[in-house]
Every structure is written in structure tokens, then in C-alpha cells.
Amino acid sequence: MEDFLVILLKVAAIYGGVIGTAALYTLAERKVAAWIQYRIGPNRVGPWGLLQPLADGVKFIFKEELVPAGANKLLFRLAPMMSAVPAMLTIAVVPFAGDMTLFGVDTFGAIAKIDMSAFYVVAIGGLGVYGIILGGWSSNSKYSLMGGLRASAQMVSYELSLLLGILSIVVVSGSADLYDIVDAQSGAIWRWNAFQQPLAFGLFVIATFAETNRHPFDFAECEPELVAGFHTEYSSMKFALFFLGEYCAMIVMASLTTTFFLGGFEVPFWADAPWVIQLAAFGAKTAFFLFLFLWVRWTLPRFRFDQLMSLGWKVMLPLSLLNVFLYGALTSFGAFGD
Amino acid sequence: MLSQYGPILILIALVLGFAAGNLVISELLGKKTSAIGKADAYECGMGSIGNARLRLSIHFYLVAVLFILFDVESLLLIPWAVSAKFFEAQGVGGIVFTEIVGFVAVLGIGLAYVWNKGGLSWDR
């Protein structure tokens, strides 16, 4: 019974934490954009504009839900859910902290600990593409269709690099459990996979930008060309769900980059830190990648779509294959044997 | 083993409830008005012309097919990736790796073929 309550508590805390972070992240996006452009940004709702996400949420709920006349009604209504739900489900296996004791129950700092968690995130995260392409197609609007198609082509192209990057980590760690992958990086700071596999790290970070449709790869929206891309016809809470899904996906991608390459919740040179410290370390590392998403968005210009596809297929894919190859050879001939 | 997945089921219920609940509440509370042309697809303010059930560029199809090919091949690498260290510990790392090299070489030759045929060039 107590076990069950602790599980419920963890699910509620982690899910609530991620949704809360996503809400604050929308504010951070506008604040950082403002600072980079020498403006002030939202500052009217609450101190420093901190209640802005709440105000946005209330406004979204009371706005009109518009369904275009030519749209496929059912799919149009389902698509936002299909986009947001997979992004929120991938947080289930992210290890936020190590072993902990809550109310006398020994547990761990993730919702679930499964053997294939490194591939669970790819499997579930990959489902998000359905929501985007169905949203684009069912709107029956040309902009939406183009945005949806581009987004899906881009997401599937970069998913290969993402998967191959994870593969080379799994090869070296000898396990597909995210906890084992984090354990393999404990201790000294140079044991982090970012230092062990710099090429995979670079490719993975680039692929996360493409997977979440962020600048400089945001062809799903690309406002000068496609108005708003796949969500041109969406309004009110349906639009908000797409938005929330995108921000949750970014949070998940940032936490995965942390887990795979920056030692996850491990504190360097302090292997048995208390779980609160580990959680803080995890938060700090993830916050860096979350900031990187914003920093890049307001710094780099957008690619062209054909450049994006050639980068994905002609540069990233061969390099990722080569990387798996290289670390496969090193592992197979005992370079990483402990 | 399966009980590992129990918490994920709870999360699925929570997430679905959250998403569906938001949509239903907004559908109930949002105002409803109608006007001429309001339900048309947006085309920069002009009346919309035709619908969007267009023929698509063949490139998108090609990308999808290539993705399936490479994704399935990468998936077949997963069992080896998980047990590469185990094979090394058993002293058969080199042999298994040679087999994987053969397998990845097929993947590489496929990529080179598609590249040579121009399947990766978006502007052809």
C-alpha cells in the first residue's frame, strides 16, 4: 500500500514538475528573447512576469475552438493530443535522481526503471510525429499540409542520427537501462560520455534540435514561408497542447542529453551524494541545454530545407554510422573493459 | 518484470486525462461565434482556393522509405549494442564485431547507392 502511494507521489511530482517547467519555459523563452534583443519582456503579470504562463493558460481555455469547414473533424481534434501525449510519456524513464528513501520506502528517482529505457524514449518519442503530420493534413489547409510534411520528413531523418548516437552510448555502457548508463559515468568528470564520445555528443545535440523542430531547423513553422506551419488552423487549447507538447519534448530532450552525455544526476567526484543534491545537479545540467535551445534560436539564422535534408542524410548519418563503428570496435577489442 | 511498467500505466492515464480534459473544458467554456468565411482555411486573408488534398512531392515518399530501411537496420543493431560488452567478456568480441561490420557494410553500400542515384539530393 505504501509502495503504491510512493509511486503515485512520484508520478504526480515528476509529471507536475515537468508541466510546471514547461510553463515556466514558455516565459523563459520570451524573457531570454527580450534580453537578447535588448527589451524587457513580459513583466506585468505577477513579479517579473512570473504568472504570465498562468494567465496564458486561462486565456487559452476561454478562447474559441475553431474547426475549419473543410477539416477532417475527428483527426483535427485528436492531433494535438497525439502530439502532446508521447512527449509527456517519455519522461517516465528519465532518471532524475539516484536511490532514495521516501516515507520509509526504498525507491529511485524516476517514474519507472525498465531494462530498455534508452530505447523506450526513442520508441515513444517517435510517435509524436503522427500528431504533427495528422494535424497538418487534417486541417485541409495548404500551409498546414506543407508544414506537417516538412516536419515529418525532418523528424524521421534526424531520428536515425539520434538512434545511432544512443546506440554508441549503449555499446560502451553495456546496458540499455538509463540508470546503468548513468552509473557508467559516475566518478571523475572525464568519465562523462561527452568527453568519451565527443562526436556522438555533437551529433546528438544537433539531432535534438531537429527532432524538436527548433531553430535553426524549425521548418515545421517557419513563419515567413508557412504562416505557422502545421498548426496554422489551430486555436485555443488545441494550439496550446501542440505548444505544450513541443516544450515538453524540449525538456525531455535536454534531460536525455544530460543523462546520456553529461553523467545524468551524478555529481562529479561525489558518487554517493544525497538524492536532493543529485536532483539539483540534474536540474542544473538540464537547464544548460534548455538555455542552449533559446540561445541558439535567437542567435542563428534558419537553414534552407534542402540544406537540412542534406545535412541529415549526407553528413550526420554517415558520421553517426562511423561513430557506432568506431566505438563498437573499441569495445569489442576490449578498450573499455573494466 | 511486467510490474516495472505499472507506473507507466498510471502516467498514461494521467497524461491522457490531462490532455483530453483540457480539450473538453476549452470546448465547453470557449465562446462560439460565426461569420462568413470564418471557417475557411487560412490563405493570407484571401478566399481559399480549392482544398489542400494535393499531390505531394515524391521526395517526401522517398525520405519515408529510406527512413524505414535505415531505421529497421539500426533496430537490428540494438541486440548487438546491448551485449557488445558481454561478447567481449566472453572472448568472442572480435568475431561478433566482424559479423556486425559485414552487416553495417551492407547498410553503408545501400547509403552509397542511394547517394549516387541522387536520392539524397532534395533539389533534383
Minimum-distance CB partner of A141 among B26, B41, B96: B41
Taking contacts as CB-CB distances below 8 angstroms, the residues of chain A near B6 are 7, 112
Provide ipTM, 2 decimals.
0.84
Taking contacts as CB-CB distances below 8 angstroms, the residues of chain A near B20 are 81
Contact A173, A230 (CB under 8 A): no
DSSP result, A32-58: HHHHHTT-----SSSGGGTTHHHHHHH
DSSP run (H or E) holding A326: helix A317-332
Taking contacts as CB-CB distances below 8 angstroms, the residues of chain B near A80 are 19, 23
pLDDT at A257: 92
**What distance in Å separates the CA atoms of residue A203 and residue A211, rounded to the nearest whole number?**
12
CB contacts < 8 A, A to B, total 222
pLDDT at B1: 59
Cβ–Cβ below 8 Å for A10 and B43: no
Cβ–Cβ below 8 Å for A232 and B42: yes
Instruction: For chain A, 338 residues long, give each residue's pLDDT as a single digit of tens.
Output: 778 888 888 888 889 999 999 989 999 998 998 989 888 888 888 888 888 888 888 888 888 888 888 788 888 888 888 888 998 899 888 888 888 877 777 778 788 888 888 888 888 888 888 888 888 888 888 888 888 888 888 888 888 889 989 998 998 888 888 888 888 888 778 888 888 888 989 999 999 988 888 878 877 676 677 777 788 888 888 888 888 888 999 999 999 999 999 888 888 877 777 888 888 889 999 999 999 999 998 888 888 888 888 888 888 888 998 888 888 888 877 776 55
Neighbouring CB atoms inside 10 A of A1's CB total 5
The cell numbers describing B108, all together, are: 553503408
Cβ–Cβ below 8 Å for B88 and A334: yes
Shortest Cα–Cα distance, B102 to chain A (Å): 11
Cβ–Cβ below 8 Å for B7 and A10: yes
Cβ–Cβ below 8 Å for A167 and B74: yes
pLDDT at A336: 67
Cβ–Cβ below 8 Å for B51 and A67: no
pLDDT at A291: 92
Alpha-helical runs (H) found in A212-274: 223-226, 236-261
The reported pTM is 0.89
Half-sphere exposure (Cβ direction) of A244: Cα atoms closer than 13 Å? 31
pLDDT at A286: 92
**What distance in Å separates the CA atoms of residue A199 and residue A190, rounded to the nearest whole number?**
15
Distances (CA, A) of A254 to A258, A293, B51, B64, B116: 6, 9, 39, 26, 36
Distances (CA, A) of A127 to A30, A152, A249: 28, 11, 12
Shortest Cα–Cα distance, B50 to chain A (Å): 10
- For residue A270, give the 3-state DSSP assignment: strand
Mutation for B interface: A313, A315, A317, most B CBs within 10 A: A313
Cα A316 from chain centre: 19
Taking contacts as CB-CB distances below 8 angstroms, the residues of chain A near B82 are 170, 174-176
DSSP result, A59-124: HHHHS-----TTS-HHHHHHHHHHHHHHHHHGGGG---EEEEEETTEEEEESS---TTHHHHHHHH
**Which residue has cell 553495417?**
B104
Minimum-distance CB partner of B120 among A7, A310, A329: A310
DSSP result, B7-42: HHHHHHHHHHHHHHHHHHHHHHHS-----TTTTSPP
